């Protein structure tokens, strides 16, 4: 049975990747359909209700800069907000919010349901419609054929999902939800490399049974940082609490290892090394007598608490005892068991940088299906896949950011060139130009493309550009305004006399001197009054030297980095390349010379040969 409506973009899955993909495509004016198992679970957070953190917060700011919804929804649902690494350099400062899971979901649904060009329909997708080498639509569980020019799959942990709690296991996409079995089988038939990964979640606790009086409270920061440009009203703020595992906890875990699916071999998939289960922590860090646990509220209207740090798939009796061995939790009652889930993922090296599959034209993958873990990584990819599906639907060229432009560029480049051996999550250390990729300048970095693609409106674009201009005007003013020794206002702010005449720019470069100090020393009507602009000015002045050096390095690399490798390039015909390198290049088909250089096994000598060949065929 064929549905009479045809679409330009169909997105499958209403998680973090799917919602951003659908919103981006619809915002770009494409007739878009979002198909998902259950409308009630749009924007559902499968694990802890928190958004952001180091590296991840940077992605959320970029999603917001590209007109995405995650930052806005996290702000609207935030019940505890913090700036992590506040005392470290600006590159690694990151926003993290604890969200009310119900408010978050409601915010996502509200945004989706108010988006023009977007149709949401509740149906499982079981199959793809394929015509020649291109996708042409999907087939739903009730046999409905829905046609589209492009399809974005964002099926998360649902493909052939298998849930483990101790030795008990059952098929599921996440707790209480069905897996996507038929679609998994269909995708396995495509010429794509497939693997299994696993992730896990802790049991949840009834907060009314926790003795908070013996625990350390952790309040959020004041003023609370925002992710989004829109800065919506915030719900009331609450505290999280901190406790730690005890030696008894570790003894309980060790005694139950012979019933742990992680250690009996029942789980084949690889889990995230950076987010280990409590079983892994006790085994891998055997000399540690205690691990910190954050007790995070799941929401304002529920007593449920998420114990961050004890993700587990041990049998339920062991989960119960291990929780009760933790200070403050001696009488704790569990509301949900912890579990691990294994699922299919597809090797991201089979994708183009636009996130289109190399196997089928018009078919895009985004989110956990590509082997990443985390809401933010999923949402960022969803946004990119949505943009490119929208562009491809009208035969327009693809867009993706470079590694020096956005964490999103780092994420995609890492995935498609390096692949993965464990679930991939973002860290600031993955970005070689991190001083340029700060949370505070995401709008400035991405406004141009966001505006050109129709992802942000004229007013916002103009405001960002005006702010940028104000910052450079103020930089120029600070360079040309001088203060002299003997000025009491200057000595008072610096805590010492000036020894020689200095520009305000040089004074601001001094450690500990803030822009406010400069304004106090030398008041001016031209001074910036906007806090965002003032923050950017401070960073751009204090780190001016590093920023210029990183810019120079990027310019040096840019020429070769962006050199396009033709899609039909015959690697067999390139003289001097080893068979292994030829095969690797032919399999990955890198889009640029820079991507080719980052493929494992592709040596600098091989890159030089490629360069020579490219010059010859041009």
Sheet-wide strand order for 162-165: 168-171, 162-165, 339-346, 194-201
Helix (H) / strand (E) element for 195: namely strand 194-201
Q: Could you say which residues in the range 499-558 bind ligand FAD, by CB under 6 A?
A: none
What residue spans of 35-192 are helical by DSSP H?
A: 56-65, 70-77, 101-113, 181-188
Q: How far is the CB of 12 from ligand FAD (least distance, A)?
A: 5
Place of tokens 């751009």: 540
Number of CB atoms found within 10 A of residue 451's CB = 18
100/106 Cα distance (integer angstroms): 10
Stretch that binds ligand FAD, among 40-48, 74-82, 527-535, 575-583 (CB under 6 A): 40-48
Among the listed ranges 25-33, 195-203, 408-416, 582-590, the one in contact with ligand FAD (CB under 6 A) is 195-203
Q: Which stretch binds ligand FAD (CB under 6 A): 31-39, 389-397, 523-531, 607-615?
A: 31-39
E strands, 479-588, where? 482-483, 502-503
The rounded distance, in Å, linking the Cα atoms of 151 and 8 is 9
Piece of 16-24, 383-391, 486-494, 565-573 that binds ligand FAD (CB under 6 A)? 16-24
Strands 2-12 and 94-99, bridge-based pairing: unpaired
Q: Which residue number, 198 or 433, has a Cβ lying nearer to ligand FAD?
A: 198
Applying CB under 6 A, among 25, 33, 47, 91 the residue interacting with ligand FAD is 47
The rounded distance, in Å, linking the Cα atoms of 128 and 74 is 33
Which of 11, 18, 595, 596 touches ligand FAD by CB under 6 A? 18
Binding mask 88-127 for ligand FAD (x = CB under 6 A): ------------------------------------xx--
Cross-strand partners of 228: none
Separation of alpha carbons 82 and 88, rounded Å:
14
Q: Is 14 in the site for ligand FAD (CB under 6 A)?
A: yes
- The residue from 13, 225, 299, 337 that contacts ligand FAD (CB under 6 A) is 13
Judged by CB under 6 A, the stretch of 33-41, 64-72, 476-484, 519-527 that binds ligand FAD is 33-41
Measured from the CB atom, the residue of 274 and 546 that comes closer to ligand FAD is 274
In the shown chain, the binding pattern of residues 395 to 434 toward ligand FAD, with x for contact by CB under 6 A and - for none, equals ----------------------------------------
**Is 35 one of the binding residues for ligand FAD (CB under 6 A)?**
yes
CA distance 551 to 414: 21
Q: Please state, in angstroms and rounded to a whole number, the distance separating the CA atoms of residues 59 and 64.
A: 9
Question: Minimum distance from CB of 46 to ligand FAD (Å)?
Answer: 3
Decide if residue 278 touches ligand FAD (CB under 6 A): no
C-alpha distances (whole Å) from 194 to each of 158, 184, 197 are: 14, 10, 10
Helix axes 16-27, 101-113, angle to 10 degrees: 30
Strand partners, 52: 96
When asked if residue 157 is in the footprint of ligand FAD (CB under 6 A), the reply is yes
Residues numbered 197 to 236 that lie near ligand FAD (CB under 6 A) are: 199-201
275 binds ligand FAD (CB under 6 A): yes
Binding mask 366-395 for ligand FAD (x = CB under 6 A): -xx----xxx--x-----------------
Least distance to ligand FAD from the beta carbon of 292, Å? 15
Minimum CB separation from ligand FAD for residue 521, in Å? 45
Check residue 155 for interaction with ligand FAD (CB under 6 A): yes
- φ, ψ of residue 335 in degrees (nearest 5): -105, -25
In this complex, which beta carbon is closest to ligand FAD, that of residue 13 or of residue 225?
13
Size of the site for ligand FAD (CB under 6 A): 36
User: Could you tell me the smallest distance in angstroms from the CB atom of residue 175 to ligand FAD?
Assistant: 7
3-class DSSP state for residue 495? coil
Query: In this chain, which of 8, 9, 16, 229 binds ligand FAD, going by CB under 6 A?
Result: 16
Q: Is 341 in the site for ligand FAD (CB under 6 A)?
A: yes
Are 313 and 339 in contact by the 8 Å Cβ rule? The answer is yes
Strands in 363-436 per DSSP E:
363-365
Using rule CB under 6 A, residue 365 touches ligand FAD? no
- DSSP, collapsed to helix, strand or coil, labels residue 383 as helix
Q: Taking CB under 6 A as the rule, does residue 277 contact ligand FAD?
A: no
From residue 400, alpha-carbon distances to 154, 240, 411 in Å are 18, 38, 11
Q: Do 611 and 593 touch, CB atoms closer than 8 A? A: yes
> Taking contact as CB under 6 A, which single stretch among the options 148-156, 286-294, 506-514, 541-549 is the one that binds ligand FAD?
148-156
Nearer to ligand FAD, 368 or 388 (CB): 368
Q: Does 453 bind ligand FAD (CB under 6 A)?
A: no
Residue 319 engages ligand FAD in binding (rule: CB under 6 A): no
Establish if 241 lies at the interface with ligand FAD (CB under 6 A): no
Spatial distance between the Cα atoms of 601 and 253, rounded to a whole number of angstroms: 41
Asked whether position 470 contacts ligand FAD by CB under 6 A, the answer is no
Least gap, CB of 10 to ligand FAD (angstroms)? 11
Cα separation, 370 vs 367, whole angstroms:
6
Closest approach of ligand FAD to the CB of residue 371, in Å: 10
Distance from C-alpha of 381 to C-alpha of 365, rounded to nearest angstrom: 8
Q: How many CB atoms neighbour CB 178 within 10 A? A: 15
Q: What are phi and psi of 240, to 5 degrees?
A: -100, 170
Residues that bind ligand FAD (CB under 6 A): 12-18, 35-37, 41, 46-47, 124-125, 154-158, 173-174, 180, 183, 199-201, 275, 311, 341, 367-368, 373-375, 378
């Amino acid at each position: 049975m064929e549905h009479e409506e045809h679409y330009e973009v169909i997105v499958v899955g209403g998680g973090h990747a799917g919602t951003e993909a659908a919103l981006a495509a619809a915002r770009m004016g494409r007739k878009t359909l979002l198909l998902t198992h259950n409308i009630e679970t749009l924007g559902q957070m499968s694990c802890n209700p928190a958004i952001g953190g180091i590296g991840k917060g940077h992605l959320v700011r970029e999603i917001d800069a590209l007109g995405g919804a995650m930052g806005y929804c996290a702000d609207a649902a935030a019940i505890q907000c913090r700036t992590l690494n506040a005392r470290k350099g600006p590159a690694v400062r990151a926003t993290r919010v604890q969200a009310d899971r119900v408010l978050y979901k409601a915010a996502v649904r509200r945004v989706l349901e108010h988006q023009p060009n977007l149709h949401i329909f509740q149906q499982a997708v079981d199959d793809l419609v394929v015509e020649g080498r291109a996708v042409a639509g999907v087939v739903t569980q009730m046999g409905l054929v829905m046609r589209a020019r492009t399809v974005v799959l964002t099926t998360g942990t649902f493909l052939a999902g298998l849930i483990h709690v101790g030795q008990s296991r059952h098929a599921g996409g996440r707790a209480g939800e069905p897996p996507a079995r038929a679609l998994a089988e269909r995708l396995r038939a495509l010429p794509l490399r497939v693997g299994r990964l696993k992730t896990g979640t802790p049991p949840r606790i009834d907060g009314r049974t926790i003795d908070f009086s013996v625990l350390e409270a952790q309040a959020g920061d004041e003023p609370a940082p925002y992710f989004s440009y829109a800065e919506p009203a915030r719900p009331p703020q609450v505290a999280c609490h901190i406790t730690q595992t005890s030696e008894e906890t570790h003894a309980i875990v060790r005694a139950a290892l012979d019933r742990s699916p992680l250690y009996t071999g029942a789980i084949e998939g690889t889990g995230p090394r950076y987010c280990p289960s409590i079983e892994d922590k006790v085994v891998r860090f055997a000399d540690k007598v205690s691990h910190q646990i954050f007790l995070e509220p799941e929401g304002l209207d529920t007593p449920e608490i998420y114990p961050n740090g004890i993700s587990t798939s041990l049998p339920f009796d062991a989960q119960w005892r291990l929780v009760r061995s933790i200070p403050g939790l001696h009488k704790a009652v569990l509301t949900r068991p912890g579990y691990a889930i294994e699922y299919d993922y597809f090797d991201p090296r089979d994708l183009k940088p636009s996130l289109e599959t190399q196997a089928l034209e018009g078919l895009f993958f985004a989110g956990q299906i590509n082997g990443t873990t985390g809401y933010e990584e999923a949402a960022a990819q969803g946004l990119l896949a949505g943009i490119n599906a929208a562009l491809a639907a009208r035969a327009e060229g693809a867009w993706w950011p470079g590694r020096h432009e956005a964490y999103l560029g780092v994420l995609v480049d890492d995935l498609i060139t390096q692949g993965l051996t464990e679930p991939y999550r973002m860290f600031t250390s993955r970005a070689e130009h991190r001083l340029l990729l700060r949370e505070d300048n995401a709008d400035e970095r991405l406004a141009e493309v966001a505006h050109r693609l129709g992802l942000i409106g004229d007013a916002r674009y103009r405001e960002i550009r005006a702010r940028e201009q104000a910052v450079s005007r103020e930089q120029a003013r600070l360079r040309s305004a001088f203060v002299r020794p003997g000025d009491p206002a200057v000595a008072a702010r610096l805590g010492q006399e000036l020894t020689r005449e200095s520009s305000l720019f040089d004074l601001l470069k001094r450690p500990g001197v803030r822009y406010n100090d400069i304004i106090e020393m030398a008041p001016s009507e031209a001074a910036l009054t906007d806090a965002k602009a003032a923050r950017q000015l401070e960073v751009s002045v204090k780190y001016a030297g590093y920023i210029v050096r990183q810019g120079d390095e990027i310019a040096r690399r840019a020429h070769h980095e962006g050199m396009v490798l033709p899609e039909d390039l015959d690697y067999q015909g390139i003289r001097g390349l080893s068979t292994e390198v030829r095969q690797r290049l032919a399999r990955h088909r890198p889009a640029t010379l820079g991507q080719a250089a980052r493929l494992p096994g592709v040596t600098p000598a091989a890159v030089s040969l490629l360069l020579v060949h490219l010059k010859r065929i041009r």
